[in-house]
């Protein structure tokens, strides 16, 4: 596969997968998800690779989730909602190698979900985290909600989703969403340090550990699959479309008329 939305490199045991769509703050469209799934599979089963780093191009954003300019009641690709996002989330969990999210800017919406699903998150002090679903007519009904609660606890996860606030890297660290925060100019050195430590360890022990950590939360995938069917119906409503239109028109959404 030739990549258009993603950059892929392998160097000294480290595969780096970079979402390369800086014009839309590294938001993903259908094609981006396909390429990310392909790249994770490639790195996951390459014997030259012991650790995978996921990041975004530039300094502004790690990833800001689904590309709202490619959202017209549904996204523009394959799958129930036009994005094979459940497959992308699953492959991050299923590759038998540790995955590090290198977060240098915004990790928002589906971008925050991707970072949450990685085994580790290393953040620059300029990074910001948050969910935006209920502000833009969406919600991740699987790993993005239920797994987040496993990481930060129920109260915090509900706050993150219901209020759609943004959190600094220090705040994210305090709630257990990131493993380390470093000054922006030291981010690459810190990520390299974590990679080097991982590469010294037994790959098989790491793979078994990763799969055993996953076992406890694998049922969330099934719940998510069911939720996606509901989400596809929600995306077809005027309520959801109001959220997408408001973001694209740079105005506040008016959801009050949809109260049931």
Ligand X SMILES: CC(C)(COP(=O)(O)OP(=O)(O)OC[C@H]1O[C@@H](n2cnc3c(N)ncnc32)[C@H](O)[C@@H]1OP(=O)(O)O)[C@@H](O)C(=O)NCCC(=O)NCCSC(=O)c1cc(O)c2ccccc2c1O
* 109 binding ligand X? (CB under 6 A): yes
**What's the full length of the chain, in residues?**
260
Closest to ligand X by CB, 46 or 242: 242
Identify the CA nearest to 123 among candidates 174, 179, 61. 179
Size of residue set near ligand X by CB under 6 A: 24
Identify the CA nearest to 55 among candidates 2, 9, 23. 9
Q: In whole angstroms, how far apart are CA 138 and each of 109, 133, 185, 240, 247?
A: 9, 4, 34, 7, 12
Identify the CA nearest to 244 among candidates 24, 22, 73, 23. 73
Stretch that binds ligand X, among 31-39, 133-141, 180-188, 198-206 (CB under 6 A): 133-141
Site map 212..251 versus ligand X, x via CB under 6 A: -------------------x---------------x----
* 116 binding ligand X? (CB under 6 A): no
Chain centroid to CA 105: 13
Closest to ligand X by CB, 50 or 65: 65
Token pair of 23 as six digits: 């014009």
Neighbours of 26 (CB within 10 A): 28
Closest to ligand X by CB, 25 or 195: 25
Q: How far is the CB of 6 from ligand X (least distance, A)?
A: 16
Closest to ligand X by CB, 91 or 198: 91
Residues in touch with ligand X (CB under 6 A): 24-25, 27, 64-69, 81, 85, 106, 108-110, 113, 132-133, 136, 138, 140, 144, 231, 247
């Amino acid at each position: 596969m030739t990549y258009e939305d993603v950059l892929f490199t392998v160097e000294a045991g480290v595969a780096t997968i970079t979402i390369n769509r800086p014009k839309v703050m590294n938001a993903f469209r259908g094609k981006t998800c396909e390429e990310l799934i392909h790249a994770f599979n490639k790195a996951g089963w390459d014997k030259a690779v012991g650790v995978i780093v996921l990041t975004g191009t530039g300094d502004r954003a790690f990833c800001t989730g689904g590309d709202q300019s490619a959202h017209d009641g549904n996204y523009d690709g394959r799958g129930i909602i036009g994005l094979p996002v459940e497959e992308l989330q699953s492959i991050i969990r299923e590759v038998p190698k540790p995955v590090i999210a290198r977060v240098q800017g915004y990790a928002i919406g589906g971008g925050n979900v991707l970072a949450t699903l990685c085994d580790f998150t290393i953040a620059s002090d300029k990074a910001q985290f948050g969910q935006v679903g209920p502000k833009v007519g969406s919600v991740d009904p699987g790993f993005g909600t239920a797994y987040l609660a496993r990481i930060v606890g129920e109260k915090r996860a509900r706050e993150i989703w219901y209020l759609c606030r943004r959190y600094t890297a220090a705040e994210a660290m305090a709630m257990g969403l990131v493993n380390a925060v470093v000054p922006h100019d030291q981010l690459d050195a810190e990520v390299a340090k974590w990679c080097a430590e991982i590469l010294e360890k037994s790959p098989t022990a790491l793979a078994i550990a990763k799969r055993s950590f996953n076992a406890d939360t694998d049922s969330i995938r099934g719940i998510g699959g069911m939720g996606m069917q509901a989400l596809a119906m929600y995306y077809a409503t005027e309520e959801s479309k109001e959220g997408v239109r408001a973001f694209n028109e740079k105005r506040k959404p008016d959801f009050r008329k949809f109260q049931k």
